[in-house]
Chain A
Amino acid sequence: MNIASHLEKIRRLQSLRGRLQPLEDFELWFWSTMTAGTHAVNAALHDAGVTPQESAFPSQPGVYLVDDGAGGHAPALRAAGDVLHVGRPPIAAPVPRDVQDMMDAMEIIESYRDPCVRDGLVPTPEIVDRCDTAYRRCMDALERRLPESAA
């Protein structure tokens, strides 16, 4: 996807995130945090020239939905593009230090995904704080690289 679309999604997700209570709405608060952060990483990877900006939407690592020329979309193999989650797929090319830091922050968030959202681990204020701190670290790095993301 292109950077502008990633940023638009981040703005929408941040708006919702602000309306949710981190503990009471943990699952959706967490999921909006993770999804916005992943869009931030993808925007930064495009800006750094590591992955291409294109209308190709990941359905699984290595498979993207692309324009089929008939008004719809069809799956196609792609070597690189948007990641579904940090590490899915791994980025083979060198990644700038600031983007790597964003990805490291996202790994902290991702570590709570299945335990808290699928496996029944009860979220705590400490988990919320760790996820929120990692999210801000990711978004601050995006803002330094793409100042328009702060708008």
Chain B
Amino acid sequence: MNSAKHHEIACNIERSLAKCGPEDVEMRIEAAMLAATHWLNAALHDIGANPPDKDVMHTYMLTINDFRRLSLPDPRLLAMLAEIEDIRPLYVRGDAPGGREAADRACGLLDRIREMALRASAAR
């Protein structure tokens, strides 16, 4: 998928995310994960790290070789998506206390990933 399409889907997910209330912990985290993954893929295409026909689904499904290679341009991108992914077991699939704060954290990471992706797009 090319970076423009990733941008379009990420923006659509974020428009839906805006309809969530603070209590919608699970979908705020999931929306952050989904949109951030699209932003990450767009950035990886824009900086030439991955071709449009190669997308990351989850960081934990990457081979160690690919994780290292894709972290080279800027390790923060993959690390921030991995942090969002790590929030999911406890608060989307689990009922650990502190879900609202975890969702806030996921959305904050999404903001930073989007910002980096847009910078990569502008620099292309």
Contact = CB atoms under 8 A, between A and B. Distances in A.
Nearest to A13: B26
Interface in B10-51: 12-13, 15-17, 19-20, 23-27, 30-31, 34, 37
Given A13-B27, A35-B27, A120-B9, A28 B90 contact: no
Interface in A112-140: 114, 117-120
What interface size band does chain B fall in?
A: 20 to 34
A28 B94 contact: no
A108 interface: no
Interface stretch (A44-52, A56-64, A91-99, A142-150): A56-64
A1 interface: yes
A80 to B, nearest CB: 15
Contacts of A35: 26-27, 30, 92
B100 to A, nearest CB: 12
The secondary-structure label for the interface of chain B is: helix
Nearest to A42: B93
A114 B57 CA distance: 9
Nearest to A63: B89
B94 A65 contact: yes
A120 B5 contact: yes
Interface string B89-120: 11011111000000000000000000000000
B89 A118 contact: no
B104 to A, nearest CB: 16
A35 B57 CA distance: 17
A27 interface: yes
Given A16-B24, A28-B27, 11 more contacts: A5-B95, A13-B27, A19-B19, A25-B12, A26-B12, A27-B13, A27-B34, A28-B13, A32-B27, A64-B89, A82-B93
Interface of B: 1, 5, 9, 12-13, 15-17, 19-20, 23-27, 30-31, 34, 37, 55, 57, 60, 86, 88-90, 92-96
Q: Which 3 residue pairs across A and B have the least CB separation, nearest first?
A: A57-B94, A28-B16, A25-B16
Interface of A: 1, 5, 8-9, 12-13, 15-16, 19-20, 24-29, 31-32, 35, 55, 57-60, 64-65, 73, 82, 84, 114, 117-120
